[in-house]
Chain A
Amino acid sequence: MSATEDHVAGRPAIDRPAAALATASRVAPPPRHLLFWLAAAGLGAALVVGLRMIGNEYGYFAGYFILQYIVLASAWNILGGYAGYVNFGAAGFMAAGAYTAIALRKATGLDLLPGIVAAAAVAGLLGLGTGYLTLRLRGVFFSIATLCLAVVLQTLVVNWDYVGGSRGAYIVRPREVPPFVSYGEYMFVVMLVLAILAVGISRTVELTRLGRGLQAIRDNERAAEAMGVPTLRLKLIATTLCGALMGVAGAPLPYYSGYLNPEAAFSLAYAVNAIAMPLIGGAGSWLGPVIGAVLLGGLQQAATVTISSALNLWIVGWMLVIFVAVAPRGILGWFRKRT
């Protein structure tokens, strides 16, 4: 098409590229990727060293609990926070990951690390499939579909004897995994690495054009499409990524507890926390889910000692409702004027 080249060449010269660049660098500071990864690795190492010095197994337990929610909340945020599509099926995706790890172990004997990769693949495909069937419609239909997804997956697992059905499945844990001081530390470090990866992925999404495109979709899908944003493709990438990371969060679960039944794997706690944590921390920024997971996860961990787990979850439910009503931008919103 020669017309394109002609009219570009013939455009009146009102170019001021130098001035434009000067303004631009003031507006958008270049993302500091290396600094982020170094800081994350440093923080992770400090946590491992710190917990080893304390030398209490409960520290690893509480740490694992919170880190697993960092993965889950970051995963939710990629779709919910950036693109504005609500995934209610966190428990379903997480359980899909957990049961993939169990099935893989039973079928091939492969253990945790291959299990995590397989869980990412299975849960990612699940996200892609759900998205493909429903995302061409209004966003709420996707949400409704994910809402039912957990119930159906639970039905399938309960009827699937190979992975233990409703009785549950056992995984024999080794007492020690060198060079770690205990199995608890090993599980903690695995989840720590997964959490750093999940936060890093969600931050990378936010800072690249994928994130910008998702934000444009959240703000105005029709305008985004008219501006050349391939909305369906970006949404499918986001649902796949979201599902895969949720599956990753679930894969270590059977290894961690040594036993898993459908009731525990599909626990309502996952579904509500995956939504409450990003929204309370501040959806739309990679840091929000981390803040929410540390805060809410820490609170729940501390509270289980004194109150029942049902009351604990009830409080999370109330916090979710109150926060979305009173502070729709979450905790981060208090510190920022803009989203």
Chain B
Amino acid sequence: MSDADVLLRAEGVGKRFGGFVALQGVDITLRAGERLGLIGPNGSGKSTFVNCISGDFAQHDGRVTLGGAALNGLKPHRRARLGLARTFQLPQPFNSLSVLENVRVPLLFSGQSGSATARAMHCLEQVELAAKAEKLPRELTQVEQRRLELARAIALDPQLLIADEAMAGLSHAEIDQILLLLRRLNAAGTAVIMIEHIMRAVTEFAERLVVFVAGRKIADGEPRAVLSMPEVEGAYLGKQ
């Protein structure tokens, strides 16, 4: 992979809490526009990795760059402006603000020109929530809250979206809705890292698969090949 194609480069990323090693020596390189699935059993370090990339952990081992810019030491909001968006395992809306205002917040601080309101409506249309722009987040259904999370992420005009279990607790049809939205976003050029326990979603979406076990990366490659590796089957799928 030539350097020009690289969007995200994580080298030797690790994190320990006191004496507990949550993540160790992870190298991941992502091309612009790539769809990566990240799987692993609970506690394997997936969320820790996400928090290292997103800046929620101020300090960790290793180096992370996005589009050539070093992310280490940057606060989450600086990373967001560099084109890094994330969704949360549990939707984290601004509860006292309307759906529209929820999406306006990232636009107001992104430095993009033009009317934040019009752009926010545009984002809401992309996730088919425009009709509920004036509702409060608590008036939305679970899948609508997930779509709101995606609309806020889209508003950041991201180069990379990290979708952290964006489909947990959803029905079959609802999972398809979210998958469709992620595909559209990806078709527009955004690279996606999908962290998911729902294997159907990952295998349908990802063009490459990374597997974490006990804080280490044990596999990285084409999904079918990765899933048939004996150590992956043993460590992860065997327990399902």
What's the least CB distance linking B139 to chain A, in Å?
11
Using A24-B117, A27-B133 as known contacts, say yes or no to A213 and B108 having CB atoms under 8 A apart.
yes
B215 close to chain A: CB less than 8 A:
no
Q: By the criterion CB–CB under 8 Å, are B117 and A28 in contact?
A: yes
Question: Once bound together, how far apart are the Cα atoms of A63 and B157, in whole Å?
Answer: 52
CB within 8 Å for A223 and B188 given contacts A4-B83, A20-B122: no
B117 touches A4 (CB 8 A): no
A107 CB to nearest chain B CB (Å): 41
Tell me if B156 and A227 are in contact (CB < 8 A): yes
Within 8 A of A (CB), among B63-114: 67-68, 75-77, 80-81, 83, 85-86, 88, 92-98, 100-101, 104-106, 108-110
Q: Does B126 sit at the interface, judged by CB under 8 A? A: yes
Question: What A residues does B88 contact at CB under 8 A?
Answer: 223, 226
B88 and chain A: residue at smallest CB distance: A223
Partner of A20, one of B7, B94, B121: B121
Give the number of residue pairs across the A-B interface with Cβ within 8 Å.
Answer: 137
Interface presence of B134 (CB below 8 A): yes
Which among B76, B81, B85, B95 has the highest number of chain A CB atoms within 10 Å? Answer: B76
Assess whether A179 is interfacial by the CB under 8 Å rule: no
Whose C-beta in chain A lies nearest to the C-beta of B33? A7
Pick the contact of A213: B68, B80, B105 (CB < 8 A): B105
Number of interface residues of B (CB under 8 A): 55
> Is the beta-carbon distance between A24 and B189 smaller than 8 angstroms?
no
Interface residues on A, range: 35 or more
Task: Tell me the smallest distance from the CB of A172 to a CB of chain B, in Å.
Answer: 50
Q: How far is the CB of A330 from chain B (nearest CB, A)?
A: 14
A3 within 8 A of B: yes
Chain B contacts for A223, CB-based, 8 A: 88, 92-94
By the criterion CB–CB under 8 Å, are B115 and A8 in contact? no
Interface of A is mostly: helix
Question: Are A20 and B109 neighbours in the complex by a CB distance under 8 Å?
Answer: no
Query: Given A7-B189, A7-B190, A12-B188 in contact, is the A20-B125 Cβ separation under 8 Å?
Result: yes
The reply on B159 being an interface residue by CB < 8 A is yes
Q: Is the C-beta of A11 less than 8 angstroms from some C-beta in chain B? A: yes
Nearest CB on B from A61, distance (A)? 39
In whole angstroms, how far apart are the Cα atoms of A339 and B98 in the complex? 10
Contact A10 B188 (CB under 8 A): yes
Contact of A230 with B by CB under 8 A: yes
Query: Which of A4, A24, A228, A232: most chain B Cβ within 10 A?
Result: A228
Known A225-B76, A225-B77: A215·B96 in contact at CB below 8 Å: yes
Contact A226 B54 (CB under 8 A): yes
- Nearest chain B CB to A263's CB is how many angstroms away? 39
Instruction: Tell whether, in the assembled complex, residue B105 and residue A227 are in contact, meaning their CB atoms are under 8 Å apart.
Output: yes
Asked if A222 and B109 sit within 8 Å, CB to CB, the answer is: no
Q: Is B180 positioned at the interface, with any CB of A under 8 Å from its CB? A: no
Contact A23 B130 (CB under 8 A): yes
Which residues of the other chain, A, contact B125 by a CB distance below 8 angstroms?
14, 16, 19-20
Closest to B80 in A: A228
A21 contacts the other chain (CB 8 A): yes
A24, B115: Cβ atoms closer than 8 Å: yes
Q: Which residues, 1 to 39 on A, are CB-close (under 8 Å) to B?
A: 1, 3-4, 6-8, 10-12, 14-17, 19-21, 23-24, 27-28
For residue B213, CB closer than 8 A to chain A, the reply is no
Q: Is A220 an interface residue (CB 8 A)?
A: yes
Q: Judging by beta carbons under 8 Å apart, are A11 and B96 in contact?
A: no
A219 contacts the other chain (CB 8 A): yes
Say yes or no for B16: interface residue by CB 8 A criterion.
no
Question: Are B188 and A229 interface neighbours, CB within 8 A?
Answer: no
Closest approach, in angstroms, between the C-beta of A234 and any C-beta of chain B? 9
B140 to A: closest C-beta gap in Å? 15
The answer to whether B136 and A338 have CB atoms under 8 Å apart is yes
The one of B95, B101, B120 that contacts A220, using a Cβ cutoff of 8 Å: B95
* A3 contacts B109, C-beta separation under 8 Å: no
**A74 — which chain B residues lie within 8 A by C-beta?**
none
Cross-chain contact A218 with B96 (CB below 8 angstroms):
yes
- Within A242-287, which residues are at the interface with B (CB < 8 Å)? 284
Give me 4 other A-B pairs in contact (C-beta within 8 A), A219-B95, A219-B97, A228-B81 excluded.
A27-B121, A209-B109, A212-B105, A216-B94
- A selection of 16 A-B contacts at a CB cut-off of 8 Å is A4-B83, A11-B188, A20-B118, A20-B121, A23-B130, A24-B117, A212-B101, A212-B104, A215-B96, A218-B96, A227-B106, A228-B109, A228-B110, A229-B105, A230-B77, A232-B75
Instruction: Give B residues with C-beta under 8 Å from A.
Output: 7, 32-33, 54-56, 67-68, 75-77, 80-81, 83, 85-86, 88, 92-98, 100-101, 104-106, 108-110, 115, 117-122, 125-126, 130, 133-134, 136, 152, 155-157, 159, 184, 187-190
List the 5 closest A-B pairs by CB distance, nearest first: A7-B189, A228-B80, A20-B121, A219-B94, A11-B188
A interface list, Cβ under 8 A from B = 1, 3-4, 6-8, 10-12, 14-17, 19-21, 23-24, 27-28, 209, 212-213, 215-216, 218-220, 222-232, 284, 338-339
